[in-house]
Every structure is written in structure tokens, then in C-alpha cells.
């Protein structure tokens, strides 16, 4: 028997604008998507019990260290603040966190975690990367390839925004 999996609906968002949001931040404030305009943005969709999500966090942190002055970095989860805060006590994840976002995440339709969305400075979805654990290489090779892909997209966006 051959299993086929449906196309993940989230990929239909590429070349369209990010659905607008007003979401709760980890500290209890409300953040509007419009504040992200003006810089390219990396959005990571994740949750604390997702092993592939956790595996890529150190690489995402490295990317943020390299581009933090020129790029926004946001993590979005459906989980409640206390769950995320507890997780972040043991694993450092340097992104700005938006929580309790189940209804917003449902606007992307069916998809598997993690996903990393790359936006241009106008909030247009330029690329969506799957989690690197799905690549067919060793863990180290996957980390290198994931970082190369994200960095390549960001470098291209930064180059075009400077011209």
C-alpha cells in the first residue's frame, strides 16, 4: 500500500501577503502584524512538544544573532504563555514570542510543524521552509543546509531592500 499525503495548505501563502494579526505576546501585550513592516521578517511556527521544532532552535538562534539588526524574528505558537515560559527556562529561544495563537494559525490551513516563513519588508510571504529534520542528510548537514537556505533568502531580501 502506498500512502500519499495531502499538499500542505500553508505553501499556498507564498507570493501572497501574510494574514494580518493582533496576537498576545509572551509578556501579555497585544502585537499587531503591522509593526513588522519595514524590515524582512522570519516567523517560526512551533510548539514546545515538537521534537523537530526543538532541534532547529539553536540554528534559528544563530541566524538571529547574525541578522538581528536588519530582520525581525518572531515565534508563533498555539500554546499558552505559562507553557512557553516554562519551556524557555530550560531552552533558550531568542525570538519574540506570540502565544495563544490557535485561531490565527488555522488561517494557514493544514500544515506540519515546524515551519519558517520568510517575509519581505512589506509582509509578503517570499518563502516557507519546512523543518530541517525532514531533510535526508545527517543532523549536522541538515543544520548547515537549513541555515544556508534561510540566510540565502534573507541576503536576497536585504540586497533588494537596499537598492
Q: What are phi and psi of 2, to 5 degrees?
A: -105, 125
- Give 76's strand partners: 45, 98
Q: CATH classification of 9-162 is 1.10.443.10, yes or no?
A: no
Residue 149 to residue 35: CA distance in whole angstroms = 25
The domain limits of the chain are: 9-162
Read off the pLDDT of residues 99-130 as tens digits, 9 standing for 90 and up.
999 999 999 998 899 999 999 999 999 999 98
pTM for the structure as a whole: 0.92
Q: What are phi and psi of 73, to 5 degrees?
A: -130, 120
**Is the peptide bond preceding residue 114 cis, with omega within 30 degrees of 0?**
yes
- Nearest CA to 98 out of 77, 125, 73 is that of 77
Q: What are phi and psi of 43, to 5 degrees?
A: -115, 125
Which residues neighbour 1 within 8 Å (Cβ) at sequence distance 6 or greater? none
Read off the pLDDT of residues 32-90 as tens digits, 9 standing for 90 and up.
999 999 999 999 999 999 999 999 999 999 999 999 999 999 999 999 999 999 999 99
Residue 96 to residue 94: CA distance in whole angstroms = 7
Angle between the N-to-C axes of helices 51-67 and 139-162, in degrees from 0 to 180, rounded to the nearest 10: 40
Between CA 43 and CA 50, with CA 80 as vertex, the angle to 5 degrees is: 60
Amino acid at each position: 500500500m502506498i500512502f500519499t499525503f495531502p499538499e500542505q495548505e500553508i505553501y499556498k501563502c507564498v507570493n501572497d501577503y501574510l494574514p494580518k494579526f493582533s496576537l498576545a505576546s509572551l509578556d501579555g501585550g497585544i502585537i499587531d502584524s503591522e509593526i513588522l513592516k519595514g524590515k524582512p521578517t522570519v516567523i517560526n511556527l512551533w510548539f514546545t512538544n515538537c521534537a523537530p521544532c526543538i532541534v532547529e532552535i539553536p540554528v534559528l538562534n544563530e541566524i538571529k544573532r547574525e541578522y538581528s539588526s536588519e530582520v525581525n524574528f518572531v515565534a508563533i505558537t498555539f500554546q499558552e504563555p505559562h507553557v512557553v515560559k516554562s519551556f524557555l527556562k530550560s531552552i533558550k529561544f531568542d525570538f519574540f514570542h506570540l502565544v495563544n495563537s490557535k485561531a490565527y494559525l488555522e488561517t494557514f490551513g493544514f500544515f506540519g510543524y515546524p515551519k519558517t516563513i520568510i517575509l519581505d519588508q512589506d509582509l509578503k510571504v517570499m518563502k516557507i521552509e519546512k523543518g530541517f529534520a525532514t531533510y535526508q542528510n545527517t543532523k549536522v548537514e541538515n543544520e548547515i543546509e537549513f541555515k544556508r537556505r534561510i540566510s540565502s533568502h534573507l541576503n536576497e531580501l536585504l540586497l533588494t531592500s537596499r537598492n
